[in-house]
Amino acid sequence: MNTEEHRRLRDLLGAYSLDQLSADERTGVRAHLDGCAECRAELAAIAPLAAPLRLIDPDRLELSPEVPPVWLEDSIVAAIKSEPRRIRPTRRWLAAAAAVLLVGGAGTGLGYALAPDPPKIPLEPVQVTAIAAGVQSTADVVPHTWGMEIKLTGSGYEDGKRYHVVVLGADGRVAPAGEFIGTGAKRMLCNLNSSVLRRDARTFEVLDETDRVVLRGQV
């Protein structure tokens, strides 16, 4: 394996995945891919992320090598600018954006930005009743294969005091769902996880340090 050729062609994979290479470059990349499992793996990793970029026609964007397009997330621009060795300044920003994916950690923001819509989380609002004075809360539950998640928002939980949450199952089981610290008048959002499946859960309770119930939810 010619290491220098490998490095050079690996740098082109982002542009290759976006079909931004000249015919000669493309032929070179294809020939290299035949013999380089590492580059094949990198290409397989970036191809799905590059797909949304491929829908953009770069010829209609008047991209300048110096000025990042406004739609490119700041984190991606920063990542591209911090990688002058890997990404040539003359490369189109589109190709550079895809190439950032090859830089590993620096591409994290890009993966987020380019990934297709995240799967919708099936939030289910549930009825809650505040028992302690001053507590105001809303709650949504999320069914998981491993149990049920409670997304609790609220205020009026005493500042600095510890609260714990339990889920009561139809079979009478009481399962812990986690703890949080009260934030007083400041609104908080916390995620609580229990091992009771959504279909088996009946109620959840928020209890204070003395095990007094301060909030109850019907699920």
Which C-beta is closer to Zn ion: that of 6 or that of 54? 6
Residue ranges in 8-37 that form contacts with Zn ion under rule CB under 5 A: 36
- Name the residue nearer to Zn ion (CB basis): 21 or 39: 39
Rank residues 11 and 149 by Cβ distance to Zn ion and give the closer one. Answer: 11
Q: Cβ–Cβ contacts within 10 Å for residue 80, how many?
A: 24
CB 162 within 8 A of CB 179: yes
Query: How far apart (Å, rounded) are the C-alpha atoms in residues 160 and 19?
Result: 56
The three-class DSSP label of residue 132 is coil
At 135, list the tokens: 């507590």
CB of 42 to Zn ion, least distance (A): 8
| CA-wise closest residue to 155 among 145, 163, 147 | 163
CA distances 170 to 54, 167, 200, 202, Å, are 51, 10, 5, 6
Q: In the range 37-96, which residues lie near Zn ion by CB under 5 A?
A: 39
**Number of residues near Zn ion (by CB under 5 A):** 3
- Distance of closest approach, residue 33 Cβ to Zn ion, in angstroms: 8
CB of 73 to Zn ion, least distance (A): 28
Is there binding between residue 165 and Zn ion (CB under 5 A)? no
Closest distance to Zn ion from the beta carbon of 18 (Å)? 18
The minimum distance between CB 36 and Zn ion, in angstroms, equals 3
Q: Which is nearer to Zn ion, 28 or 184 (CB)?
A: 28
Q: Judge whether 146 and 116 are in contact, CB under 8 Å.
A: no
Q: Are strands 188-194 and 147-155 parallel, antiparallel or unpaired?
A: antiparallel
Nearer to Zn ion, 4 or 59 (CB): 4
Positions in the binding site for Zn ion (CB under 5 A): 6, 36, 39
